Structure 1
């Protein structure tokens, strides 16, 4: 017998999830609906992040959710992807907060840190008592991180760090920064604490994107860092790039939520909006646009689901993450723009979600590797030749 399909999940991807994964998705979705969505427009307009929700996010197990032990939830990566999807259905800034805390800060401590570092930092980070940020990008070293100018020089048992980082999510609210710097022995990672002399942050304002997110610049002026704060188990670009791969995995899921939010809004609007004596969704061009959005969302869902399988089976390759991030963010940005247009003049206000998601996705398509960089990663895989 035929049954009505879920308009936001035409291929019933939800049925492919196991019970725990569905429970994670549904519980985070309810929290986003009940606790975050009533606040987001106000914070987007005010250029602030709702820090009062951080303890609730911690209680839900959103920080370091895939880490085993250290008071972390120990979920699989499919569940982490679904968390990102539901959070970004709320706002890219919400997903970014959790992504940075989990994939860019807790992950490198867990993967490359000493046992003492793990014991010191991971439990309070899981509880939301310590917030982290990730310092890799510089004003003149974005897509080419190897050209970073931030430098750490050995001085006895300490390191002296000088330089700066740019476009750092959570920077001005963070208690620690995972900072990558050039050394005489290659690029290395350091845990810099906010009260270390010479370490300063500056809030970046006048953003038209990710406004419900804290974005900062970091400055290091002869910051003395003990060797016990150096991540001992990695050297070279492998360290920061593996963190980025972990974050990009979540970003491959996140924009699906943003696109679903935009589609749901337009489905409601076109059903209720009457023009020339009939609802908008009676028009062929409207139905064609809605159908195309559903096609693209479904494709992205299946791509993300397969990516989750590859990640959980430890078979994932960086090229696969690049393809998914490129496809799914482009999908969501195009849908958000189309939905904004379909809402007419009302679409330019934060009374509707489309323009907020549209503006946010302009950042998401840029950070964690621009669309062009990911295209070149796939091109290199196909040709065997590096065009960077």
Structure 2
């Protein structure tokens, strides 16, 4: 984005030339690019939310509950049900999406003169949040071909930079793979003074046997586990993210949050959703089935999908990812170009959406496989590599 000279000169030097985070929001038939749920909120949840809001709207002349106490209790109950880990409400914190929760963590434990490390490719908002809040970012590396995180390599990289913050993803975005459970404890040991954050935005979609970092909270007071209601709960538009940590760590976040940061309607909708968790999570198994179908059928086409614990699939083997992205868009299917050469990421949608994507992809293979001839020119008006929602 170009700016007038006066604005450009006034902008912080470290922000000049940056591109804002964002994914294309295009009016196409099949939207599989931002890992939203393709399923609408059930009618029973909508009716309950409307009843709750009718009551709460009468009190909008007053500020919301600053401590969102009933929401924190509801989150603790949900996590006990979902993971088997019983936490106290004092261990829970929430924000307007998990990005705000991550921002609170960096505001409290990062900042000028401090260092954060993550392992690429991973959620691209991690370095954006860190760097825009003045934190030095170290781009840790995964295996170049498989994108796996080697436990010993991760520990060595962490020791080398002695960070204040470590940000991990499990399941990882954009690869979809869950961390080896031993990696979390190994990183905690390798960074004895760091706050270690495990981003579990897609935890509800993990394959059987995948363990949550929530299990480690009792033994590790520097550990934080972040979650969201945007994905499995089908509530991307509600903007509710949360974290679990030691009560003293949670208390530190009060120093940086804005006053009354969670609105009354946000708290109300989230509480209603948690009360209806079984209904909202009823689509998770269907989404996982479509995810596994994507892996199987993309592999049969000669592409290289990564087995996933999330609600999306990263696949490689393309001659030109940007060109394939454009061709899919022309066929009415929107996926995500996340900037990894030869790779695209597709969200697992409804069976009908999955079929539309696979049919469109099948029409492009084998021309778009990595042995295909690349044309000299291609349009790129709508591509964006700024993030991996």
Q: TM-score if structure 1 supplies the norm length?
A: 0.25
Greater relative CO (CA pairs within 8 A, separation 6+): 2
Structure in which a larger fraction of residues adopt helix:
1
Q: TM-score if structure 2 supplies the norm length?
A: 0.25
